[in-house]
């Protein structure tokens, strides 16, 4: 038996939808960090950002821009956190691609100071990890550039 996507099937998701266009929709998460924490998803059920068509990407980011204005107006947002996870190893728990959009203002709840290295390495502080030598960074940069050609 295959599991159906909760984003595509749960009536609660449709009821919590706050904005949509032909190719994307946004809805309130049931475990918000702060009020206004929304998830933006493509209308088509795909697992990864790279699976989206150019038209879907444009519609997705048009909806993000529309929501930015709405969340600033509604919650006096002074900034935003954005996050998405891809693949099991990347922490993705729902296989329908989605972007967390979290309106932030001084003094609100949740992680206020977001330091990606502290979040992603959890058990290691960024201070305990050694700085990578510049020569090694240049070697890695060269490998990535060559693979991207």
Sketch the domain layout of the chain as residue ranges.
6-111, 115-149
> Residue 114: is its pLDDT beyond 60?
no
**Which residues are bridge partners to 29 per DSSP?**
none
What CATH homologous superfamily does 6-111 map to? HIT-like (3.30.428.10)
3-class state of residue 106 by DSSP? coil
Q: Which residues of 59-97 are buried (b: 16+ CB within 10 A; e: fewer)?
A: bbeebbeebeebbbeebebeebbeebeeeeeeebeebbb
Q: Residue 124 has what pLDDT?
A: 47
Q: Residue 113 has what pLDDT?
A: 58
Set 37, 96, 98, 100: catalytic member: 98
pTM score of the predicted model: 0.78
**Which residues are bridge partners to 42 per DSSP?**
24
> Residue 137: is its pLDDT beyond 80?
no
Q: Is 37 a catalytic residue?
A: no
């Amino acid at each position: 038996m295959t599991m159906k996507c909760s984003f595509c099937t749960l009536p609660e998701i449709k009821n919590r939808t706050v904005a949509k266009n032909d190719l994307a929709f946004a809805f309130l998460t049931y475990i918000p960090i702060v009020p206004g924490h929304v998830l933006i998803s493509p209308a088509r059920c795909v697992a990864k950002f790279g699976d989206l068509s150019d038209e879907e990407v444009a519609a997705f980011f048009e909806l993000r821009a529309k929501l930015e204005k709405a969340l600033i107006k509604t919650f006096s947002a002074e900034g935003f956190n954005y996050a998405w996870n891809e693949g099991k190893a990347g922490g993705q728990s729902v296989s329908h691609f989605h972007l967390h959009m979290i309106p932030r203002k001084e003094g609100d709840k949740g992680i206020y100071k977001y330091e990606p290295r502290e979040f992603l390495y959890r058990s290691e502080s960024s201070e305990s990890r050694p700085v990578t030598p510049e020569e090694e960074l240049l070697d890695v940069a060269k490998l990535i550039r060559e693979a991207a050609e």
